């Protein structure tokens, strides 16, 4: 979900339930507190994990997660507890996406520190070590989990958060960076996401090499990408839905067209070794859009896992 002007919880809930009814595998949302339009004065921010906790109780089947959680927003120990709580509330349906954060203006607007790129990547590595370390620490262990890093310290935690999934929820890491992102993903990720833009085949190759360097089977982690979509049964519907994708960044790579054209675009990712596609939906009130994709697109891409909106 990438709403143009933010959303109320009831809007998010309606969209998630529409996705569940329409046969999608998952419902994921962005982790932002501002929209990307600098002139937007009506954006309605919501906290991603608070809303996912609500959806954990209001949905029954779809996987739930973020694409992706900003590592700059929450301390890693607290984040481990938050995600584990939502995993329990959902009966083990959470998938945990984590990234460095990138939108400087929203950090300034909400009083959140925004270090330089190198430090954000350093913090991301420490965060993943702490979160996975806490999740993997057995309850009642004689020795608790400890971590001593440059940016974070955890001391003898003997009561770690306990997610339902074993050993923990799947971890999604992604982006277009050529070096640190694939290296971190090779070490920690259950799923590598290419993000938006760039040469997808080259990104897959770079990730494969990163896995091989540390002795990990490159075929083990899932591989995914994101795709803005505007699908319609008529040219007028296509044009109306495409108009909601206002940012050139998203429009330049979007799947815009009939159900057959969108299905063909999604199916093409399979030839690149990508098994999961996240469909970005911008007009979150257009539930007929979700129903159309569910009925006319998903049956033709049955071998590809499709999450939305």
Instruction: Summarize pLDDT for 204-233 with one digit per residue, the tens.
Output: 999 999 999 999 999 999 999 999 999 999
Q: What are phi and psi of 230, to 5 degrees?
A: -140, 100
Instruction: Indicate whether 308 pLDDT > 80.
Output: no
pLDDT at 54: 98
Instruction: Indicate whether 198 pLDDT > 90.
Output: no
pLDDT at 104: 96
Instruction: Indicate whether 23 pLDDT > 90.
Output: yes
| C-alpha to C-alpha distances, 252 to 217, 248, 262, nearest whole angstrom | 33, 6, 15
- Rounded to two decimals, the pTM is 0.94
Task: Give the whole-number percent of the chain exceeding pLDDT 70.
Answer: 98
Q: Is the dihedral of CA 158, 160, 164, 168 positive or negative?
A: negative
Q: Which helix (H) or strand (E) holds 223?
A: strand 222-231
CA–CA dist 106, 291 (Å, integer): 33
3-state helix, strand, coil in the chain (%, to 5): 40, 20, 40
DSSP 8-state class, residue 305? E
Q: Which two tokens stand for residue 207?
A: 């990730």
Instruction: Indicate whether 100 pLDDT > 90.
Output: yes
pLDDT at 56: 98
pLDDT at 306: 67
- Average pLDDT rounded to a whole number, residues 3-14: 94
- Condensed to tens digits (0 to 9), the pLDDT of residues 58-80 reads 999 999 999 999 999 999 999 99
- Average pLDDT rounded to a whole number, residues 269-292: 94
Instruction: Indicate whether 142 pLDDT > 90.
Output: no
Q: Which two tokens stand for residue 89?
A: 């509330």
Segment among 9-13, 61-65, 137-141 with least mean pLDDT: 137-141
83 vs 4, more confident: 83
**Coil, helix or strand for 253?**
coil
Segment among 139-143, 213-217, 281-285, 287-291 with least mean pLDDT: 139-143
- Condensed to tens digits (0 to 9), the pLDDT of residues 102-134 reads 999 999 999 999 999 999 999 999 999 999 999
Residue 108 neighbours by CB distance under 10 Å: 12
CB 154 within 8 A of CB 80: no
pLDDT at 303: 66
């Amino acid at each position: 979900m990438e709403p143009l002007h933010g959303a109320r919880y009831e809007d998010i809930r309606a969209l998630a339930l529409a996705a569940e009814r329409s046969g999608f595998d998952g419902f994921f949302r962005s982790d932002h507190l501002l929209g990307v339009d600098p002139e937007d004065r009506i954006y309605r921010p919501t906290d991603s994990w608070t809303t996912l906790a609500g959806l954990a109780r209001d949905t029954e089947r779809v996987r739930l997660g973020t694409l992706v959680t900003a590592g700059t927003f929450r301390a890693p120990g607290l984040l481990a507890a938050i995600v584990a709580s939502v995993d329990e509330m959902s009966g083990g349906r959470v998938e945990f996406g984590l990234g460095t954060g990138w939108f400087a203006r929203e950090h300034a607007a909400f009083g959140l520190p925004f270090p330089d790129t190198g430090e954000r990547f350093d913090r991301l590595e420490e965060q993943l070590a702490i979160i996975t370390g806490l999740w993997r620490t057995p309850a009642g262990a004689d020795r608790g989990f400890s971590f001593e890093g440059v940016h974070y310290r955890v001391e003898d935690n003997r009561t770690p958060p306990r997610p339902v999934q074993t050993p923990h929820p799947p971890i999604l890491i992604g982006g277009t960076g050529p070096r640190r992102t694939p290296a971190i993903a090779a070490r920690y990720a259950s799923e590598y996401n290419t993000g938006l833009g760039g040469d997808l085949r080259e990104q897959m190759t770079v990730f494969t090499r990163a896995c091989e360097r540390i002795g990990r089977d490159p075929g083990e982690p899932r591989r995914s990408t994101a795709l803005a979509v505007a699908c319609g049964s008529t040219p007028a519907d296509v044009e109306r839905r495409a108009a909601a994708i206002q940012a050139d960044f998203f429009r330049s790579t979007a799947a815009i067209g009939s159900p057959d054209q969108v299905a063909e675009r999604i199916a093409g990712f399979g030839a690149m070794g990508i098994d999961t596609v996240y469909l970005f939906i911008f007009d979150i009130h257009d539930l007929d859009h979700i129903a159309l994709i569910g009925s006319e697109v998903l049956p033709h891409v049955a071998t590809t896992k499709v999450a939305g909106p």
